[in-house]
């Protein structure tokens, strides 16, 4: 491992910190009112951040080449060949996931959780000077934390979500006698793993990354302890994972912060406006497709648990191609060093 310290960019993550801290405080102070307060915020955030954060996937590959390629990709009517190949591969991978759900529902549930562990962990853990093997461990520990804490703090609710998804897919549910020990062992492994991780950061003198990683883990523990899993994981997905993905992507797409002093909230709105203008076409298509899917299944879904399970299945279908893009393009420098290329600004 390299010994040179990394200074993380705290400014782009403070919005996630604030949202998570506020949600955790709400859950601890007013547990009975938390769902009523957070539900509308999560509903809006799911569209603006959650669904939208994957609606610029078609721009990631061109952005990795040059800002000119991004401009051409935005003007899709000038670049049908690229869009055709992109959609063929992207939808092809999504179709593979659909086939897996159809043929092997129980393994598909496990695969979905494992893929989510990897994607959330590798995309959201603070950047550090790590070997590829150590980066893999760091990513897995962060992703497993998101599943370990709700399983330990809210075992009944978490098991209910897992079994609802298994039942929805036509697989056998998991018993509490099996789930409880697994959750305990997983939590212990995540705790011991993080202690080893932080010791390694200390030895390699990555004090800034050590401090940031420990602070983020503490914030996430507060979130998952204060709110039941549907709410806590929802807050994490919308205001942590999705929001940070957008903030990582906008510079890649050519966004440049205004010169001089500016208010953080105004800057966030400016970033979101830049991103949503580019995400709008696929975001509109995605929302229309989801509304159509809801209409088709409305008579077959008896309760909220079934609706939530359907949402998880739909999310799993696009998680595979999205996660591959993030890992092999956006995060390539973390596991395969490459020369940095300057990114020009796209005109607003």
pLDDT for 339 equals: 52
pLDDT top residue among 160 and 266: 160
pLDDT(3) > 50: no
Please name which of 116, 43, 122, 180 lies closest in space to residue 327, comparing C-alpha atoms.
122
Confidence of residue 344 (pLDDT cuts 50, 70, 90): very low
Number of helical (H) and strand (E) elements in the chain, helices listed first: 15, 0
Q: What is the mean pLDDT of residues 150-166?
A: 95
pLDDT for 184 equals: 95
pLDDT for 127 equals: 80
Give the three-class secondary structure for 307. Answer: helix
d(CA 267, CA 155): 40
Cβ atoms of 341 and 252 within 8 Å: the answer is no
pLDDT(257) > 90: no
pLDDT for 146 equals: 95
pLDDT top residue among 266 and 198: 198
> 100-141, pLDDT tens digit by residue?
999 999 999 999 999 999 999 999 988 877 788 888 999 999
Q: What is the mean pLDDT of residues 173-190?
A: 95
pLDDT for 299 equals: 75
pLDDT for 68 equals: 54
Q: What is the mean pLDDT of residues 332-348?
A: 55
> 219-247, pLDDT tens digit by residue?
999 999 999 999 999 999 999 999 999 99
pLDDT(347) > 80: no
* Mean of per-residue pLDDT scores for the chain: 86
Query: pLDDT over 90 for what percent of the chain?
Result: 61
Reported as type and span, the H/E element at residue 230 is helix 229-236
Domain boundaries, the chain: 14-335
> 291-321, pLDDT tens digit by residue?
898 888 887 777 888 888 889 999 999 999 9
pLDDT for 73 equals: 52
pLDDT for 294 equals: 85
Q: What is the mean pLDDT of residues 189-210?
A: 93
pLDDT(288) > 70: yes
pLDDT top residue among 187 and 342: 187
Cβ atoms of 166 and 105 within 8 Å: the answer is yes
Q: What is the mean pLDDT of residues 185-203?
A: 95
d(CA 56, CA 332): 18
Of 73-77, 90-94, 134-138, 255-259, least confident by mean pLDDT is: 73-77
Confidence of residue 7 (pLDDT cuts 50, 70, 90): very low
pLDDT for 302 equals: 77
Integer CA distances (angstroms), 57 to 65, 87, 276, 279, 326, in order: 14, 10, 13, 9, 9
pLDDT for 348 equals: 36
Please name which of 83, 69, 213 lies closest in space to residue 135, comparing C-alpha atoms.
213
pLDDT(43) > 50: yes
């Amino acid at each position: 491992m390299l010994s040179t310290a990394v200074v993380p960019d705290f400014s782009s993550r403070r919005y996630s910190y604030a949202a998570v801290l506020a949600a955790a405080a709400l859950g601890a102070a007013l547990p009975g009112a938390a769902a009523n307060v957070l539900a509308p915020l999560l509903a809006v955030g799911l569209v603006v951040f959650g669904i939208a954060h994957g609606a610029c996937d078609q721009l990631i590959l061109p952005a990795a080449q040059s800002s000119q390629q991004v401009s051409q990709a935005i003007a899709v009517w000038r670049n049908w060949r690229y869009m055709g190949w992109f959609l063929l591969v992207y939808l092809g991978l999504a179709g593979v996931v659909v086939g897996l759900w159809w043929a092997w529902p129980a393994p598909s549930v496990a695969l979905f959780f494992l893929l989510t562990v990897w994607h959330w962990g590798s995309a959201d853990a603070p950047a550090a000077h790590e070997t590829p093997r150590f980066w893999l461990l760091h990513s897995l520990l962060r992703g497993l934390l998101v599943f370990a804490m709700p399983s330990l703090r809210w075992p009944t609710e978490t098991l209910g979500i897992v079994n609802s998804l298994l039942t929805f897919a036509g697989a056998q549910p998991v018993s509490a006698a099996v789930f409880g020990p697994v959750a305990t062992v997983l939590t212990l492994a995540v705790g011991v793993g993080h202690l080893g991780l932080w010791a390694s950061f200390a030895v390699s003198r990555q004090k800034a990354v050590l401090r940031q990683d420990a602070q983020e883990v503490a914030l996430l523990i507060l979130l998952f302890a204060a709110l039941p899993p549907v709410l806590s994981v929802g807050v994490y997905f919308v205001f942590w994972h999705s929001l940070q993905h957008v903030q990582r992507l906008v510079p890649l797409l050519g966004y440049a912060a205004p010169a001089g002093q500016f208010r953080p909230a105004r800057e966030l709105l400016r970033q979101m406006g830049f991103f949503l203008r580019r995400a709008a076409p696929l975001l509109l298509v995605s929302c229309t497709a989801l509304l159509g899917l809801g209409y088709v299944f409305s008579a077959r879904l008896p309760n909220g648990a079934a609706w939530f399970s359907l949402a998880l299945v739909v999310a799993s279908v696009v998680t595979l191609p999205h996660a591959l893009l993030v890992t092999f393009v956006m995060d390539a420098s973390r596991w395969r060093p490459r020369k940095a290329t300057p990114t020009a600004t796209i005109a607003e």
